[in-house]
A and B are shown apart, each in its own frame.
Chain A
């Protein structure tokens, strides 16, 4: 429960901080906090899969609210990104930084394509919805570079929350034994 609350809060505040930083660092040089968080839980969520799915959707909805997209667009993509990360992590060893970076770069391109396709479908008047070329490569590289740190940070947070519950059990142990 604690882990779910921690990730939910992280999913709420990380995109807000990203949005605030974007005012100062323009041009798409800030990593996509939501995508990184979704990938991180996709790779290392230790609890129930249903909770992780709910968390991924929640992170997507928060992104939708802080973005110019239709509400639900990022939620759907977030769900797919989580699923992809989960499936890939079952079949490949994603413990090394290069493999994580490759996965995130691929997912960045995939989510951009999916966002473009959904925008073109739901808002055809906006024209072709996919921004390709340099912006996509730059964004994929920025996300890929940040990925190992984000994944490690989330894993450490999840691990710490586990450790805390373990410590509490140990602290209670002597009391039970004392007469």
Chain B
């Protein structure tokens, strides 16, 4: 009798837990803003120092080996030159974007305005614990002015989008996650399409066959349409255009501009696109403006 009761109790507990998980999924699916609840936020906040603690000795050992192998001055100079090169490349990209768009110098100034978004440096402290998803945890959260819907970049290009935040941490869906989709344009031919995460560390560019002028080696940048990402952020390079079975859509393999295997330092763009603003404003008290961060961002 007691055995039967215990079995029924276990079955009830199992059903309740499974039901709770299902309800949680449905609620998460329906919710637009992902400013996490206090308890789940606390787990993310705790993850940042723990993950930094794990990373510190590894970083230290790795740096020691690097320093031993490389001459310090040369490395610093190299880093400075790389930074400079990245800046020039970005500038060049923007200029080319502006020239392609209209050929007017005024447009260049306009584009510079588009890009003059305050940037907050952040460190990637952890990657997705599931082998089938691609997200990361950065050490900046709501108290630094980081909110869901903000794009994340590094000097190589687009990294992803902030999808959830706690007080001092934020979850970033990487560009290579299969749930990620970015409206993109081929810089040379202006062919438009959608860049999606493929399995692994690659991307897929889906475009309409009729208008598609896509070749291997073409550079893909964000189109700015969709109101999520600003225009002209580098996404990657087309490596192969697949033969199309469909009369409508064709796909191309894309190598991401960002080396996701060596991702450490990123920048959060402290401004959301109009779509993201519409989506998330209600959850943050209808604020159209992103609050001033506690730390001054370095632009």
Chain A contacts of B173 at CB under 8 A?
A: 68
Q: What's the least CB distance linking A30 to chain B, in Å?
A: 8
When the two chains form their complex, are residues B126 and A71 in contact, meaning their CB atoms are under 8 A apart?
Answer: no
CA distance A67 to B260 in the complex (A): 16
List residues of A (60-87) whose CB comes within 8 Å of B's CBs: 60-63, 65-76, 79, 83
When the two chains form their complex, are residues B25 and A73 in contact, meaning their CB atoms are under 8 A apart?
Answer: yes
Chain A contacts of B36 at CB under 8 A?
A: 65
CA distance A67 to B44 in the complex (A): 11
Q: Interface readout for B125-165 with A: 1 if CB under 8 Å, 0 if not?
A: 11111111111010000000000000000000000000100
Q: What's the least CB distance linking B34 to chain A, in Å?
A: 9
CA distance A141 to B134 in the complex (A): 20
CA distance A118 to B132 in the complex (A): 12
> Which of A50-58, A95-103, A149-157 contacts its partner?
A50-58
CA distance A17 to B47 in the complex (A): 9
When the two chains form their complex, are residues B14 and A122 in contact, meaning their CB atoms are under 8 A apart?
Answer: no
Main secondary structure of the interface of A (DSSP, over half): helix
List residues of A (28-45) whose CB comes within 8 Å of B's CBs: 28, 32-34
When the two chains form their complex, are residues B134 and A68 in contact, meaning their CB atoms are under 8 A apart?
Answer: yes
Residue in chain A with minimal CB distance to B37: A71
Q: Interface readout for A118-140 with B: 1 if CB under 8 Å, 0 if not?
A: 11001101110101000100010
When the two chains form their complex, are residues B43 and A65 in contact, meaning their CB atoms are under 8 A apart?
Answer: yes
Contacting residue for B131 out of A21, A129, A139, CB 8 A? A139
Q: What's the least CB distance linking B264 to chain A, in Å?
A: 7
Does chain B have a CB within 8 A of A49? Answer: yes
Contacting residue for A72 out of B20, B54, B132, CB 8 A? B20
Q: What's the least CB distance linking A31 to chain B, in Å?
A: 10
Contacting residue for A16 out of B40, B46, B171, B263, CB 8 A? B46
Does chain B have a CB within 8 A of A22? Answer: yes
When the two chains form their complex, are residues A70 and B9 in contact, meaning their CB atoms are under 8 A apart?
Answer: no
When the two chains form their complex, are residues B17 and A57 in contact, meaning their CB atoms are under 8 A apart?
Answer: yes
Contacting residue for B179 out of A15, A26, A123, CB 8 A? A123
Contacting residue for B129 out of A34, A76, A79, A123, CB 8 A? A34
A-B contact pairs, 22 of them (CB 8 A): A16-B46, A16-B47, A17-B54, A19-B47, A19-B129, A20-B52, A21-B54, A22-B126, A22-B127, A24-B55, A28-B131, A32-B131, A50-B9, A53-B10, A54-B17, A62-B43, A67-B128, A68-B163, A123-B29, A125-B179, A126-B179, A135-B199
